[in-house]
Structure 1
């Protein structure tokens, strides 16, 4: 139905327009549209594709040309940019001459549109790219100058994610995108400029922050963070859920976009190229931010709304408290790394970022179902309130603007708002348009307005997913309906599959992984997204006026929100939830080539139900990976394994077999995901004891992954609680799961099933009482530990006749003291030695000779910056007759044996 055939306002269409007339005689002109509609039995007829004109693709080439030009021209020199613009304009001027060459008028118009869009995109990108090069800031950054700058905040403050570097967690900092408006070098003049920078505020300046890199929500109203109200601490509970709250006071995290600050800082060059940051502005010291310009009224209103939503969700269960603000306004500050990883594994991350889906739900409330937006039968709030189409379009425009301000101008938000604005313009003018031209127009306008979006993966994923929903999904849905699938299920399945098929290559570039559970997880979660979003927006709108009502609405919203979180966790916990894939554009191209082949095979299989069932069963088995079947197929874990050294990178994590589905875990490694994967591959569901040899991050940071979904009896640690922050982290994790924590000391002996062990280090904190008749000076001297490594818990383990010595990270002073301790005789001629400190060069030769292991195992990360294991250590072990294996080259290692037999299996 073309726009020319519609009245300006369909509300006022004459009734006779829908009256059926007699059938035209054979050979006459085609029946009128009204007759077609009447024959359908509906006032406007059935929504069939044949009633619509072909998809209008004329704007697609100009949009794609502008997108590509913007991405390339951001780094181009001014000369190249001027050349591109001049060349395109000259080509447009020469187009009239092509009439003689036989070019059709539509061809000349299309070429002119592409050339003009390329010129406009090059000019816009050139100007934006020049912002990174002009003014004094880039030069001062190359000199690492200390300056006083006035900056305007352009984003919500956020905290860096925690990263384990060696044996410690990297310091947390507050990151803020900003524009330098004035800059003054020490002793110099003040220069007015406008240069984008990244403001980094050291954690000491940001106040106390929640452990793990998350803190109070960013972008709250003034005082929303600085008032010290409790916010979730990072590091999830053992099951991955947030439970512990502690107060955070951070004035930097409470700043709103458009706020102006005066800071004394040091400039440095940008850490990575190709981004919109001209320099890094590092703020040090304990001073609070000096505000010289208050945020705009719109940002203050948005801050109050966002803070109100957070307050309304404060009393909800942990997952709903974290997810609901993310679903509604994109506030992900409460989401733990573990929950975020689960959403990544299941390709549900798009639900954590406000996107077109949220905006579509809002427009559907206002306009009704999209298919009826211009019809008399509209069922949204606007027609029920008697609002005309054009007034509805105006209200939609206001809603679009508010949506962008409250949810922040992220790529997906801008794309959704731009698409909505184009559609609303068509609605106001009474002209019906396909959504493909709307999407192309949105892309064109956005890359001209902000060329940096052309390099944004988020923007790319948003556009690709929308394109999939507009092109592939309707066809796939129709195909499924023809095969007997119910309409609602067909639409949901087609939408999830289409979006996954087109977005998977881009996701593979970012994560080097392809999810096998993305489609079912998105399909199951889809039914909860709409009610959670609607109720969340209702809570957002009512919070400033009636907080009890907002809390009631948030409480209603927590049910679907918890459902979404449970879907993500369940999907991510499946052993075969994803497969590794090359994380490059070559890998993306390979996946893009494989996907059509898979779809073609799937289409052929739809006609053979039995083959469909077989393939479905195989896919389920690949994803679920039942332990008995996995052991038969892969040989892992090997039958009769006694110890497994997990491959967790640069860190330690070991499992001692303690019965079917049970194991004692010694250290947790640096990454919860890696140790969790190792335990799942072994089928470990019960852990009588977790031994943390010492509190360095490469041994304890993975503790949430050990505790996740498993019954844990106790945690045993060293008595030397340094580093203090990691010791506190362990205690919080244990308290959240109500797992007792106790200290290990030399002399302790324990047994579970066929597994027994003796703690041989560290000695008791108090010197032993001399036996009667003995001389105190003859007792072994136990020097005070010089650091956490020398306080490591060392264990002598016995399992099915094998003797295993686990040395933690003991260094030579403690190793020599251990060799002189009462337990020294028991350490002679062990079967397996877990080499201390990842095989570093600091080893005591005497202890190695005394232990004389048959097998030496070293846990270290590939290409680690410490040079572990040291060649000298490996040589000394081999010289003593030991076979040496290491996780960086051999992967996870399983020790199998008993009764004198000893062998090793690799994963």
Structure 2
């Protein structure tokens, strides 16, 4: 009985210790969130992820940008983050095992064995604060192995150590054997232990500065071994992963160290923690900017077959590139030409792509961007300027479309209604461009998307206005009139589609009707409204609601378009566009083009005789075309 009582007391004591530790860790995490509350949006979202793996604030568009540039490992706890902390304690790579070692421990007079114990305590604290989840455990384990390798200089002998860590983690949690994240962590750590030292030495032999050689070798080795696994999941190969990782590397260490300083200071003094967090916001913002800039490059990624076969194919191609690269490095001229070609492929400068592909066509008046299942249109408004009607669901895709058109100034962004597939891409429109105003419908539903738009406008100090039927505006050769909604729109029970802003556009002798997502009730009301009396037959119709089956045939016959354009996503779950709608349009004499099959669509005008042409192709410039 006494033995049983002792066991129960020991169990209760262990439980109390575990609960107390987790409570303290929760207090630290809460303090970090409070300290980062007033930071710019990117830093506020990214810092908790870098420090404790809290990615709850990371918006989808930033997550996608990190994914496109293979920087996703920075948005959550990784072995690299933990290695930085231990390096701060022990010293920089290559000095931890020497008598003249550097770092905080020797400066404070802490002997080597005590330093090892302190490192173990730091590891335990790292696991507790970041929660003892499998991802955190593998980060701590792989980080320790990688740091031990660079600290002692005995890299090869640590491969068995890495294998032991992998075995222990899999025994602890067998489901890790099926985790892509676990596989990528192990592969990256193995690459740092085996390939990176050889590649770094080879670069130094070719007169590459030592620091740059180490950074290039580490980023290149990790990318080479991880890319075949990533492509199994993403079906895409990033061409900017290595340069983006190199540029981000300069900011990772200060952001991580300052972030942990804010974490430690938060329970003691929030003002001090906020100072550390503010300092960390600069490198964190730099990392986010690198991810967004890399994701926005028109040639930043290449579609690749997914699944095991695609991964195997990429592994073979990567091996071939490595073997050829060894020969290329021997000739500075050949290496320079290869680098220049890669830059041209990634950057795709507009003058060059226009000559090669014909995109964008000269004299384009309207472009329907290929943004997947959503809407994003651009109306030409002068050199480098365009009025943007809707922003699509993806900031990266709409930004890429605008870049391909050379749009640097947007006099007006007009959002027909607040559904996410029309407004979620707004950050991509605002990125790096001068925006005059944002105009929206008067029906603020869904409320969360309306708040999202207002928040962006407020942050960028952009004026917001509401579109009302009868409004007429002009900029250069572009003129438009708002046909819908009336001053007090009455939305139908299905949502805000019937409050969509509808425009009649005139440009270069062409007439375009943009219906937003209007459905039959609003389409019939539009025909009964006073502005409909002057509604002419149009050259181009932007078909409402991605070509859904819900169209008013009377309206289609009334406007009698020569060309009908449909913006929809490939293999979308809604069945857009409807075969019935397409058939009705064709029966009325319209040529029908759609972004899911034809890519981005450009309409060009040729004077006052209602003649024109349309070019179709991907926004990257792959041009296919037909004339109407």
Question: TM-score, normalization: structure 1?
Answer: 0.62
- Could you list the per-position Cα deviations for residues 563-608 of structure 1 after superposition, in whole angstroms to 9, with x for gaps in the alignment? 3233223322322222222232221111111112112222212222
Structure 1 position 859 matched with structure 2 position 567? yes
Structure 1 position 629 matched with structure 2 position 357? no
Does the residue aligned with 1:823 lie in a helix, a strand or coil? Answer: helix
Q: Is the 8 A contact 1:746 1:762 kept in 2?
A: yes
Query: Structure 1 residues 763 and 651, CA, compared in 2 at 3 Å: closer, same or farther?
Result: same
Instruction: Give the deviation of 1:525 after TM superposition.
Output: 1.9
- Identify which of 317, 327, 336 aligns with 1:594: 317
The more displaced of 413-422 and 888-897 is 413-422
- Could you list the per-position Cα deviations for residues 82-135 of structure 1 after superposition, in whole angstroms to 9, with x for gaps in the alignment? xxxxxxxxxxxxxxxxxxxxxxxxxxxxxxxxxxxxxxxxxxxxxxxxxxxxxx
Query: Structure 1 residues 449 and 856, CA, compared in 2 at 3 Å: closer, same or farther?
Result: same
Does the residue aligned with 1:413 lie in a helix, a strand or coil? Answer: helix
Instruction: Give the deviation of 1:338 after TM superposition.
Output: 2.7
Which consecutive segments of 4 or more residues in structure 1 shift more than 6 A?
Answer: 420-427
Partner of 1:873: 581
Partner of 1:382: 105
Structure 1 position 712 matched with structure 2 position 420? no
- Identify which of 393, 396, 400 aligns with 2:123: 400
- Could you list the per-position Cα deviations for residues 707-765 of structure 1 after superposition, in whole angstroms to 9, with x for gaps in the alignment? 22222212222223333333333222222222222222222211111111112222333
Q: Is the 8 A contact 1:672 1:704 kept in 2?
A: yes
Structure 1 position 684 matched with structure 2 position 394? no
Cα distance in 2 for residues equivalent to 1:763 and 1:805:
17
Q: Is the 8 A contact 1:393 1:425 kept in 2?
A: no
Q: Is the 8 A contact 1:320 1:562 kept in 2?
A: yes
How does 1:319-468 map onto structure 2 within 5 Å? 319-369=42-92, 371-419=94-142, 434-468=157-191
- Identify which of 869, 881, 898 aligns with 2:606: 898
- Identify which of 540, 551, 557 aligns with 1:832: 540
Partner of 2:593: 885
- Identify which of 581, 598, 608 aligns with 2:304: 581
Query: Structure 1 residues 814 and 374, CA, compared in 2 at 3 Å: closer, same or farther?
Result: closer
Q: Is the 8 A contact 1:532 1:560 kept in 2?
A: yes
- Identify which of 451, 469, 483 aligns with 1:728: 451
Does the residue aligned with 1:814 lie in a helix, a strand or coil? Answer: helix
Partner of 2:3: none
Structure 1 position 841 matched with structure 2 position 564? no
Structure 1 position 822 matched with structure 2 position 545? no
Cα distance in 1 for residues equivalent to 2:103 and 2:77:
22
Partner of 1:764: 487
Partner of 1:811: 519
How many residues are paired up? 598
Partner of 1:497: 220
Q: Is the 8 A contact 2:504 2:513 kept in 1?
A: yes
RMSD of Structure 2 on Structure 1 (CA): 2.8
Partner of 1:797: 505
Q: Is the 8 A contact 1:829 1:853 kept in 2?
A: yes
Cα distance in 1 for residues equivalent to 2:120 and 2:236:
39
Instruction: Give the deviation of 1:471 after TM superposition.
Output: 0.4
Instruction: Give the deviation of 1:477 after TM superposition.
Output: 0.6
Q: Is the 8 A contact 1:423 1:433 kept in 2?
A: no
Does the residue aligned with 1:894 lie in a helix, a strand or coil? Answer: strand
Query: Structure 1 residues 542 and 448, CA, compared in 2 at 3 Å: closer, same or farther?
Result: same
Cα distance in 1 for residues equivalent to 2:39 and 2:440:
34
Q: Is the 8 A contact 1:354 1:413 kept in 2?
A: yes
Q: Is the 8 A contact 2:47 2:284 kept in 1?
A: yes
Query: Structure 1 residues 527 and 901, CA, compared in 2 at 3 Å: closer, same or farther?
Result: same
How does 1:8-157 map onto structure 2 within 5 Å? none
Could you tell me which runs of 5 or more consecutive residues in structure 1 were left unpaired when the two chains were aligned. Answer: 1-257, 260-292, 766-781
- Could you list the per-position Cα deviations for residues 356-394 of structure 1 after superposition, in whole angstroms to 9, with x for gaps in the alignment? 222222322333345444443333443444444433332
Query: Structure 1 residues 554 and 425, CA, compared in 2 at 3 Å: closer, same or farther?
Result: closer
Query: Structure 1 residues 563 and 696, CA, compared in 2 at 3 Å: closer, same or farther?
Result: closer
Instruction: Give the deviation of 1:666 after TM superposition.
Output: 1.5
Cα distance in 2 for residues equivalent to 1:463 and 1:833:
54
Q: Is the 8 A contact 1:400 1:420 kept in 2?
A: no
Does the residue aligned with 1:308 lie in a helix, a strand or coil? Answer: helix
Instruction: Give the deviation of 1:465 after TM superposition.
Output: 0.6
Q: Is the 8 A contact 2:469 2:482 kept in 1?
A: yes
Query: Structure 1 residues 895 and 521, CA, compared in 2 at 3 Å: closer, same or farther?
Result: same
- Could you list the per-position Cα deviations for residues 248-293 of structure 1 after superposition, in whole angstroms to 9, with x for gaps in the alignment? xxxxxxxxxx99xxxxxxxxxxxxxxxxxxxxxxxxxxxxxxxxx9
Cα distance in 2 for residues equivalent to 1:710 and 1:882:
35
- Identify which of 186, 204, 208 aligns with 1:485: 208
Query: Structure 1 residues 876 and 438, CA, compared in 2 at 3 Å: closer, same or farther?
Result: same
Q: Is the 8 A contact 1:651 1:669 kept in 2?
A: yes
Q: Is the 8 A contact 1:396 1:424 kept in 2?
A: no
Query: Structure 1 residues 336 and 422, CA, compared in 2 at 3 Å: closer, same or farther?
Result: closer
Cα distance in 2 for residues equivalent to 1:810 and 1:529:
47
Q: Is the 8 A contact 1:411 1:458 kept in 2?
A: no
Partner of 1:648: 371
Q: Is the 8 A contact 1:477 1:493 kept in 2?
A: yes
Query: Structure 1 residues 871 and 550, CA, compared in 2 at 3 Å: closer, same or farther?
Result: closer
Query: Structure 1 residues 753 and 393, CA, compared in 2 at 3 Å: closer, same or farther?
Result: same
Could you tell me which runs of 5 or more consecutive residues in structure 2 were left unpaired when the two chains were aligned. Answer: 1-13, 618-628
Query: Structure 1 residues 297 and 849, CA, compared in 2 at 3 Å: closer, same or farther?
Result: same
Q: Is the 8 A contact 1:860 1:888 kept in 2?
A: yes
Cα distance in 2 for residues equivalent to 1:532 and 1:810:
47
Does the residue aligned with 2:530 lie in a helix, a strand or coil? Answer: coil
Q: Is the 8 A contact 1:412 1:462 kept in 2?
A: no
Query: Structure 1 residues 634 and 722, CA, compared in 2 at 3 Å: closer, same or farther?
Result: same
Cα distance in 2 for residues equivalent to 1:477 and 1:783:
67
Cα distance in 2 for residues equivalent to 1:432 and 1:589:
28
Q: Is the 8 A contact 1:571 1:577 kept in 2?
A: yes
Cα distance in 1 for residues equivalent to 2:476 and 2:512:
16
- Identify which of 250, 253, 272 aligns with 1:527: 250
- Could you list the per-position Cα deviations for residues 182-232 of structure 1 after superposition, in whole angstroms to 9, with x for gaps in the alignment? xxxxxxxxxxxxxxxxxxxxxxxxxxxxxxxxxxxxxxxxxxxxxxxxxxx
Does the residue aligned with 1:829 lie in a helix, a strand or coil? Answer: coil
Instruction: Give the deviation of 1:672 after TM superposition.
Output: 2.5
Cα distance in 1 for residues equivalent to 2:120 and 2:85:
12
Cα distance in 2 for residues equivalent to 1:703 and 1:385:
51
Q: Is the 8 A contact 2:155 2:193 kept in 1?
A: no
Does the residue aligned with 2:387 lie in a helix, a strand or coil? Answer: strand
Partner of 2:342: 619
Cα distance in 2 for residues equivalent to 1:425 and 1:687:
53
Does the residue aligned with 2:414 lie in a helix, a strand or coil? Answer: strand
Instruction: Give the deviation of 1:411 after TM superposition.
Output: 4.3
Q: Is the 8 A contact 1:397 1:421 kept in 2?
A: no
Structure 1 position 562 matched with structure 2 position 285? yes
Query: Structure 1 residues 294 and 835, CA, compared in 2 at 3 Å: closer, same or farther?
Result: farther
Cα distance in 2 for residues equivalent to 1:313 and 1:544:
14
Cα distance in 2 for residues equivalent to 1:830 and 1:839:
17
Cα distance in 2 for residues equivalent to 1:420 and 1:678:
40
Query: Structure 1 residues 542 and 744, CA, compared in 2 at 3 Å: closer, same or farther?
Result: closer
Q: Is the 8 A contact 1:419 1:438 kept in 2?
A: no
Cα distance in 2 for residues equivalent to 1:842 and 1:546:
59
Query: Structure 1 residues 796 and 313, CA, compared in 2 at 3 Å: closer, same or farther?
Result: closer
